[in-house]
Chain A
Amino acid sequence: MYKIKINHQVYDFKTLRNLMAKASPARSGDYLAGLGAADNLERVAAQWALADVPLKQFLNEALVPYEQDEITRLIVDGHDLAAFAAISHLTVGDFRNWLLSKHAATETLTAIAPGLTPEMVAAVSKIMRIQDLILVAKKCRVITRFRNTIGLENRLSTRLQPNHPTDNPAGVAASLLDGLLYGCGDAVIGINPASDNLEATLRLLHMLDDVIKRYRIPTQSCVLTHVTTTLKAIERGAPVDLVFQSIAGTQKANDSFGINLNLLNEAHLAALELGRGSLLENGTLGDNCMYFETGQGSALSANAHQGLDQQTCEARAYAVARKFKPFLVNTVVGFIGPEYLYDGKQIIRAGLEDHFCGKLLGLPMGCDVCYTNHAEADQDDMDMLLTQLAVAGGTFIMGVPGADDVMLNYQSTSFHDALYLRQVLRLRPAPEFEQWLQQHGIFNADNQLQQQPDVPVLFKSSLQNLSE
C-alpha cells in the first residue's frame, strides 16, 4: 500500500508508522531512534507516498495499538466524524492544497479541528514548507480566557518567567518587576521552581497571588511543578490559577512523567472548582485553567516513543492537551538538546511544525524559542524562529531577563525580544493587560515603552522601601 517507484527504485514503506518516520524532515532524534530516512531520496519517496495516503486511512490504521495506549483510544474515541466530513475525501497531498486555498478560512478551520487527528496533522506538516506552516497557522484562531483574553488577532502575549536558582523570594520578585516594567506577563507569570517540594510551591503560589492582587494585574500565575504537587497545594487551600503539567504523546511516556489521563482530569476538575478566572468584558467566565508543556523528543528520551518519529509523537501530545481545554500550550522546542534537534535549522522547523499542528488541532499554541549551549544554534537562529513564529500568529513567547534563564541554564527569549516584535509587526498584548500597562504608564498608546525613564507610581514605594 505504501509503495512507490522513484528514480528507477522501488520503495516499500510497509506501515503508515514507518512511512511517517521516513517522510519526516531530517532531525537528529529520529536518527538516534534508528527511524530516519537513509538518504534524501528515500525521504522524498516517502513524502510522495505519504501525499497519496487518504486522510481516512488514519482512522483505519492506528500508529500505536488501540489496546495498548490510552492516547490512541482518546484520539479514536474522541474523533468527530461530522467535523471530518468536509475533508474526508482528501488525500494528505490534497489536504495541503486545501489548507492553502481560500476554502480553508478561519471559521472553516475552527469547524474541522475536532475532525482532525494528530496523525493527519503531523502527516500534512511533513510535506509542507516553512512558508506553508506559517500561512496556514496564521489563518487559525484559538482564543482562551482566564483573567484575560489570549489569542485575539494581531496580539502576542508573553509568559513572564522570573526563575531564580534557589527560589529566593526577593530574587524572583526582582525579575518579576523587571519583566512587568518591560510590559511582559499577560500569558502567565510562571515560575519553574528550583525544587519540586510542596512547601516551596506553596510559598511561590502565595507570593504570586499576593503580587497579582496588590497591583491588580489582569493576569494569572503558575508554579510549574508536577501535577500531583499542585493537587496537594489545592488541598492545602493554595491560590492555584493555572495547573501545569508536561505531557507527551504516548501512554508509556506519560507513565514515565508519572501522569495519565485520569490524573489530569482530576487536576482539571479541581482547578475548575476553584473558579479563579474572571468574568470578562464580553460576559464570559475565564475557565481555561490548564497550562501544558511539550517538546519533540520527550517520548524518545523516556524510551517510550513506540517506534514513532518524534514529530508525530509530539502532535499526539496535543490530543492530550485539547481534552482539557488549556489556557496555554507551550512547545519548549530547543530545550531538550542536540541529540533530538541538532542545530538552528532543525529547531526552527520543529518550532513552526509544533505551532502549526497545535493551532490546527485547536490549541492556544505558544513556543519557548530556545536553545542550549551544546546545540549548534545561537541568537541569530532564535531571531529567525521568533520572527517567523510571530508572523505565523504564535499565541505567546517567553520573557526571560536578558534571554538567560539562570535556573534552568538555557537561553530563551527576552523582554526586549517581545518589544522588537511589537515594533516590527504591530502586535499588541492581551486587551485587559494592555489597558493595565497603559493605565500605569508602562506602555504608551502605541504599546511601546514610555520614553520617560522613571518608575511608574504603582511600583515607586516598593522600590523606595528598598533603598531606605
Chain B
Amino acid sequence: MSNDNESMITQNPWHSLKQFTPARIALGRAGMSLPTRACLDFQLAHALARDAVNIPLDFAGLKQRLNVLGYQSLTLQTQAKTQPIYLQRPDLGRLLSASAIACLQHATPIPFDAVVVIADGLSSTAIEHHAEPFLRLLLPELQHKGYRLPPVCLVKHGRVAIGDAIAEHYAASLCIVLIGERPGLSSPDSMGIYFTYQARSGISTDAERNCISNIHENGLSYRQALKKLLFLIDEAEKLQLSGVNLKDQTTDTEPNDRLKQSNFLLK
C-alpha cells in the first residue's frame, strides 16, 4: 500500500499514545487536512462496513456447511422483501413471511426445548465468519444437556425479535438468536447473541432479552461467548426468566496493565 511522501505531511510526535487506544489518533496532516494514507484507510474501513451490510448472506452455503456438520436447517424469509425495505422497516423484519409460516407448519409439530436462529441482521460478514464455528461449539453443548432441538432456522432480513415467533411455533422455552450486529469501522463482522426465555411473538420486549455482543476476532472469543450463554441458560432455567433481572455474572479477564489504568496527563 502506498505511503505518504514524508516531506508533504506534518507528522504528530505523539505516536506512542496509540498504545492506549484503538482511536484514530496522531494521524498527521497534509496542510490542515487528513494525509492521503489516513484518508484512504478510513475509506477502506467504511467499504468493509458497507459491504457487510449490503452484500447478501450466502444462505445456501451456510446450510451446506451446517449439513456437513450433521445439522439440519430451514431457510425462512421475513416480510421485509428487499434490503432497502429491511433497513427502513424494522417492524417487517420481525414478522415471518407467509411462506415461512407455511414452511414451519409443515415441519414436525412435536414440542422442543430450545431453538437456534441465525439472522443476517446488519452484517452478513459477521454470520459468514462466526455463525458456523460458534454452532460447532454450541450445538453439542445443548445436545449434551438433553435439550430437544428443531432444525436451525436461517432467517433472511431478520431482526432479533424474529426468534420469538419461531420459539413460539416450536413451544420452546429457550430462544437463541445469532445475528449480525450494526458494523463499526473497526469491527465490520461483529456477531451478537440474543437469548430470550419463554419468548412470545409480539409480547417479548428487549427488556426480557440478554445480549452477548461484540463477538469477532478482536472482540469476545467463541469460548467466552459460549461460557456466558451457557451461564445465562442455566440461570434462566432456575429463575424462569431472562432479561434485565438476569445478570451475567461471568467475569471477563482483562489484563490489568498498570500503565493503561493510570493517566499520563496527570502524572
Contacts and interface: CB of A to CB of B under 8 A. Distances in A.
Interface string A352-394: 0000000000000000000011100011000000000000000
A28 interface: yes
Interface in A388-434: 400-404, 406, 409-411, 414, 416, 419-420, 422-423
Contacts of B247: none
Nearest to B122: A374
Contact of B263 (A178, A207, A337, A410): A207
A163 B265 CA distance: 16
Nearest to B87: A338
Nearest to B43: A379
B21 A466 contact: no
A195 to B, nearest CB: 12
Contacts of A402: 23-25, 27, 34, 38, 42
Interface stretch (B6-14, B62-70, B104-112): B6-14
28 contacts: A170-B261, A171-B260, A173-B263, A174-B21, A175-B23, A177-B14, A207-B266, A337-B182, A342-B88, A373-B49, A374-B122, A401-B23, A402-B42, A404-B42, A404-B186, A406-B23, A406-B184, A406-B186, A409-B183, A409-B184, A411-B185, A416-B29, A416-B34, A419-B33, A423-B31, A451-B10, A463-B13, A463-B264
A39 interface: no
A170 B90 CA distance: 38
B46 A373 contact: yes
A197 to B, nearest CB: 13
Interface string B78-105: 0000000001111100000000000000
A420 B32 contact: yes
A455 B262 contact: no
Interface in B103-151: 122
Contacts of B21: 164, 168, 170-172, 174-175, 401, 406
A169 interface: yes
A85 B18 CA distance: 58
Contact of A339 (B10, B16, B87): B87
Interface in A172-219: 172-178, 181, 207, 210-211, 214-215
A462 interface: yes
Instruction: Summarize B's interface: helix, strand, loop or mixed.
Output: loop
Nearest to A179: B25
A467 B267 CA distance: 13
Given A373-B185, A409-B182, A453 B46 contact: no
B27 A416 contact: yes
The bracket for how many chain B residues form the interface is: 35 or more
A165 interface: yes
A373 B182 contact: yes
A406 B122 CA distance: 18
Contacts of A173: 20, 263-266
A31 interface: yes
A463 B16 contact: yes
Contacts of A154: none
A69 B6 CA distance: 61
A467 B264 CA distance: 10
B53 A373 contact: yes
B187 interface: yes
A270 B11 CA distance: 44
A465 interface: yes
Contacts of B230: none
A165 B16 contact: no
A260 interface: no
A181 B12 contact: yes
A403 B187 CA distance: 15
B27 A32 contact: no
B259 interface: yes
B46 A174 contact: no
Contacts of B88: 28, 31-32, 338-339, 342
